[in-house]
A and B are shown apart, each in its own frame.
Chain A
Amino acid sequence: MKIKVKMIGPLMYEAGFSEKEIDIPAATTAEALLDLVHISKQRPKIMTRNGKAVAPNEHFEDGDKIAISPLYSGG
């Protein structure tokens, strides 16, 4: 299935892209997605799915918009 992934802030330089559509296996969890987009699991971050935070074991649906961001703190 296809999802759109957006990298926020410095994560786009780590992942090598800012935003793109990717094909993922249907059983892919949020945690597993990090490997697919080359983001370290150790790095503090927040992942959202269609604007809402996701848990590490959460799955996706076709057409989802995923954003992965560092844990910003409002300056």
Chain B
Amino acid sequence: MFGWTGNILRVNLTTKSSKKESYSQEFAEKWVGGRGFAVKILYDELKPGIDPLGPDNKFIVALGPIAGIPAPNTGKAVVAAKSPLTGFYGDGNLGTRVSEHLRKAGYDALIVEGKAERPTMLYIEDDKVEFLPADEVWGQGTYATNAWIYGKYGKGVGVLNIGQGGENLNRFAVVRSLEGRAGGRPGMGAVMGSKLLKAIVVKGSRPIPQADPAGMKALGAGDLKKVQQIDKETGWSLQSTTGVLAWCNEVAGLPVRNFRKTHHPDAWKIDGERLNDARIATYGCPNCTMRCGITIHDKEGREAELDYENIGLLGANLEIFDLPQVGSLNYLCDEYGLDTMSAGCVLSFYADAIDRGATSGDFKFGDAERAKELLRMAAFREGKLGNLLAEGSRRMAREFGHNSEAYAMQVKGLEVAAYNCKFIPGQALAFGVAAIGAHHREAWIITFELKNTTRESYGPEKAAKVIELQRIRGGMFEFIVACRFPWIELGWPVDNYPKYFNTVTGLNWTLDDMWRTGDRIYSLIKLHYLREFPGVTRKADFPPAVWFDPANADSEGPIAGKVLDAEKYDGLLQHYYDQRGYDRRGIPTKDTLKKLDLVREAAAAEKHALLT
């Protein structure tokens, strides 16, 4: 077997035991890796209805055939589990040296089961697996934990760790690595915390099996230089992702005041130009030549690494137009190990709920100092309010009543990324049908909608574009496990990726093979959802109700008087279902499942719910 190590490491924290398990070439080619491995393992091994924060949940780290191999931009890992935020399959990817080290230790995936007796650090070095005490850093933030680990093992090892948010089972706690990397938005950090697993450290020393190592070395090294050159020519990383804030502000797509407004005259104060001017350092992932982590001094003088989602949701959406203060909020999220996007939406929802009279409190939009306190309370679950904030916006809304769910900016429980779709139908669909909830990672079609279609359209071309991007972004990049940025931001041709894949595996895959695998993975995530929520309806794929509310329309600007049309959105959703081969609930039909070679998985789903 080339490209894959052929091994998965299974670790049980309860029994402090580990086992190296091999898998077949057939399994490898069917699920490839990353999200594919994770969804298949969790589907087969988790009983529906288990508590995501209980010992029966499993925490997965999964890599793909090109993960860790020097090529553009392969320093990523997928983390996955049943989500405590959404109640079904959840995952995320993050830049980490674990991608290289776990593969060099001889594994393509790690399955963590059970629950430790005391705070634990899992140490993996080739065949050695150790369960080490982590009491010393339990209660510490991710920066101190990272420093503690580096002090023991040096900076070259692969590290995944959690902060106080994960320890205290905050439902939007993430997994962290390196200086500013984070992943696993739907509470993957809380799953680690529930197992008393503070950190995973990996050191590998073996070569990763490849069909043509010399060819891959030459190809990867050459292409890394080419990507670097394109970045230099286009100037993309001068502002990285943060450049998009000013554009969203121009086209009425910026989240402001819990997404109630779409633009703001002070947005320039926190935009990419200001960030680049304030830059003190730049960080990135392993095997990356277009580093995107712009780092500034926050209000307290600490290093804070920011990207667009951070300034969008912790800045504009909270009406905090003070860059160092936004940096402080971002630093605290990173320190506590909280997802910055959900954190921004949770706080904006809370301020909005107070404004509406749905609850009482002293937090107002624009109050950065109080926002810092609230983040701490959410991370530590301090008091009744901290406990409530830690639950995420959907659960908060149910607690508040007063039609609050309409204003909770989430889909399936996962908070919306920083694009205001009050009148961007295709992107609203992209959030509605994203596999794990309202993530921007899988499809982002706003420039396509504005440039190539009519913004007002709810036509099939928008559904087709969402599917096209899901296959690439949520599919291929998540199962071969590489960063999508060279392709998506610099125009690095997408057909380079099958080339890398074929060079390491010795196979002869085309992009169509990639799309089919992506479709299989999307369908299995849907079956996960169905098993957990057998009464699912298409309403689960609708974005927040406030986007359909005429009373919430802008009073001025490019989309004055306009909001999404519910009936037309329903039609757009049907276009998506029809093109995907899903039924009217948004579940793959038996015929679709058969075509995707998911007959066995379909039979397992039918024990719990109806397939059509």
- B235-A51 in contact (CB<8A): no
- The listed residue (B250, B308, B559) touching A6 by CB distance below 8 A is B250
- A51-B557 in contact (CB<8A): yes
- The chain B residue with its CB closest to the CB of A69 is B247
B597 at interface by CB-CB < 8 Å: no
* Residues in A whose Cβ lies below 8 Å from that of B485: 75
Tally chain A residues at the interface, Cβ within 8 Å. 25
| Residue in B252, B309, B447 whose Cβ sees the most chain A Cβ within 10 Å | B447
Distance between Cα atoms of A9 and B236 in the complex (Å) = 8
* Per-position 1/0 for A32-75, Cβ under 8 A of B: 00000000000110101011110000000000010101111111
A14 at interface by CB-CB < 8 Å: yes
B41 at interface by CB-CB < 8 Å: no
- B308-A67 in contact (CB<8A): no
Known pairs A13-B238, A46-B451, A51-B559; A74 contacts B251 (CB<8 A): no
* Residues in B whose Cβ lies below 8 Å from that of A52: 251, 450, 455, 558
- B447-A9 in contact (CB<8A): no
- A9-B244 in contact (CB<8A): yes
Distance between Cα atoms of A67 and B271 in the complex (Å) = 15
| Residue in A43, A65, A70 whose Cβ sees the most chain B Cβ within 10 Å | A70
- The chain B residue with its CB closest to the CB of A46 is B451
* Residues in A whose Cβ lies below 8 Å from that of B450: 46, 48, 52-53
A12 at interface by CB-CB < 8 Å: yes
Smallest beta-carbon distance A42→chain B, Å:
11
Distance between Cα atoms of A65 and B239 in the complex (Å) = 22
- A14-B309 in contact (CB<8A): no
Known pairs A10-B243, A13-B235, A72-B447; A48 contacts B250 (CB<8 A): yes
Smallest beta-carbon distance B474→chain A, Å:
12
Distance between Cα atoms of A22 and B47 in the complex (Å) = 65
* Residues in B whose Cβ lies below 8 Å from that of A14: 235
* Interface residues in chain B, defined as those with a beta carbon under 8 Å from any beta carbon in chain A: 234-236, 238-239, 241, 243-244, 246-247, 250-252, 272-273, 307-309, 419, 440, 444, 446-447, 450-451, 455, 485, 488-489, 491, 557-559
* Interface residues in chain A, defined as those with a beta carbon under 8 Å from any beta carbon in chain B: 6, 8-10, 12-14, 18, 43-44, 46, 48, 50-53, 65, 67, 69-75
